[in-house]
Amino acid sequence: MNDVTVTRTLVLPASELRERFSRSGGPGGQGVNTADSRVELSFDLAASPSIPEHLKRRMLDRLEHRLVDGVLTIAASEHRAQLQNRAAARERLAAILRSAAAPPPPMRKPTKPTKGSKERRIAGKKRRAETKRGRSGSWD
């Protein structure tokens, strides 16, 4: 089992990952009833010593809906081979943790409309009102 590289500075050691194998659904031919190709990869995010504390808080906040008692679990069963499913689960784990560790977007700087845009808006409203006023007339 290899370490999982999340970012250049964040690498999860293989000792913190737990893998569980089970039978996968879907196509499989003769070996469908005997091959344990489905992989469940678990990572205890809350108790991990390899993640810095400031990142851990951010990740726990962003992933709170996916965590069960601080543990993130990824299931992969899209391939028929166990090795491919193991690699897919590790890729997915790295992608989820990478997006959760990303810094928050910069705050929006509020702006006000320019004087010209306000004048154009009012002029357009007056034109539209004049058009509508012209429609209501007495029809003899």
Q: What is the pLDDT of residues 60-108, one digit of tens each?
A: 999 989 889 989 999 988 888 888 898 999 999 999 999 998 998 999 9
Alpha helices (H) along the chain: 53-62, 82-101, 115-135
pLDDT reported for residue 138: 66
Longest dimension (CA), the chain: 91
DSSP collapsed to 3 states, 31-76:
HHHCCCCEEEEEEECCCCCCCCHHHHHHHHHHCCCCEECCEEEEEE
Work out the average pLDDT over 38-43. Answer: 90
Q: What is the mean pLDDT of the chain?
A: 86
7-14: average pLDDT: 85
CATH of domain 4-101: 3.30.160.20
Q: In the predicted model, is pLDDT for residue 26 greater than 70?
A: no
